[in-house]
Structures are given as structure tokens and as C-alpha cells.
A = this chain, B = another copy of it.
């Protein structure tokens, strides 16, 4: 079962045990994967449900619901200052594989990039593909880019009712290592913020601390803006894996 191809579908494509495949999905299944009439694949709705499905022309028949146990028992939001170039593509891809729940791109004082609206669509497509490849049953949410202060406010406004931890990774300074700060059980939600090339400004770190973020280090070596989120997620997901 684990070797079957996976594709993500929208819940609206499902009607009475049938999947109405889009033109792109028909092309992908038929031309790229070379599946033929009657071949099987796994369809996932990106919200936690998966089915064994069978190709029948321009549709697919749901055969049975399958259980996929690849999700972490905790919700992880990565707030990440947009790096220059295409670095964010790689962050979305790697962090989706690792098990992130939500990625919130933010514009910090030192952010150079102001992304076009098409970028958001591209990032969401990368997240869906990476979720398929890594055999997740959930496709992470990619939020629209906002300023860091707006991002901080919305992160905090959603936290009032749950047992949560918030961290901000800071490259220089004498902060405790993230590994020594992570609680290993009981939390429901973790928010982690990583900075841009050149790091967060002092004011940004202070603002985050002011609303309940704990400053942490990822080690003594200076990590690039695209490496730091992957390292942070590696440590968090390992600590949460059951």
C-alpha cells in the first residue's frame, strides 16, 4: 500500500464514492504516472482523510477508506521571515516533509523580498506535492505574507485557549538551545519563528518576547535563513513524535 502513488484532491471533487478528476490530475495519473483503467492509487483530501481509489476514465472510484498514521500529535506553526531568491520554496518543501501544520511567511525589517501574489499559489502547490511524497494525510496551510508585527498578533490571538509554547530563534546572543527548552509532552500547539538573512532586529526580538515568545538558539554556528527553519522543525518534530 505504501508504494501506491498519492494525489491530493479537493473535498469538492468527491461525490457519492466518486472522485471527479481535474484535467491536471487526469494528465498526471495517465501521462506522468502511466496508470491505466482499473489501476489503483491513494487519494487524500489534505484534511486527514485518505482512500484507496481506482481509475475509471475521467473519474476514480473510492474503494475503501485507509488510515494513515503519519501525523504528529501537536500543531506546529512555523513563522518564517521570507528569505531572498527562491529559498522559501525549499523551506516549504522540507518543513512539509517534516510535519509542519501551518507556515506563516512574514516580512521583517530586514526582508528584501516582497513576493508577488502568484508566489502564494506556487508555495501551496509545493506543500501539496511534498505532503503526497512524504505520505502525510494533511496538507499544511500556507498563509498570506504579512508584516512580522501582524504575524505576531495573529499567532497570539489564536493561542488563548490551548496549552502552547512559542519560540523565536536568534542567531547571536547567549540564549538557551531550543533542544533544552522543548517540553516533551502536554502541549497542543507550538509556534516557532526564524529570521531573515542578517537576523531579526533587536526590536523585533523584544516585541516577540513581549507577547510571550521565548528566545532560543539553534547552536553555536550561524545557520542560513533557509537552513534554520529545517533545523528547528527537525528538533521539534523529533521531540513530539510518539
Contacts and interface: CB of A to CB of B under 8 A. Distances in A.
Contact of A99 (B133, B219, B234): B219
Interface in A89-146: 90, 93-94, 97-99, 133-136
Interface in A199-242: 218-224, 227, 230-231, 234-235, 237-239, 241
B134 A223 contact: yes
A99 B221 CA distance: 7
A172 interface: yes
Interface residues on A, range: 20 to 34
A136 B222 CA distance: 8
A98 B231 contact: yes
A69 interface: yes
Interface of A: 2, 69-70, 90, 93-94, 97-99, 133-136, 172, 177-179, 218-224, 227, 230-231, 234-235, 237-239, 241
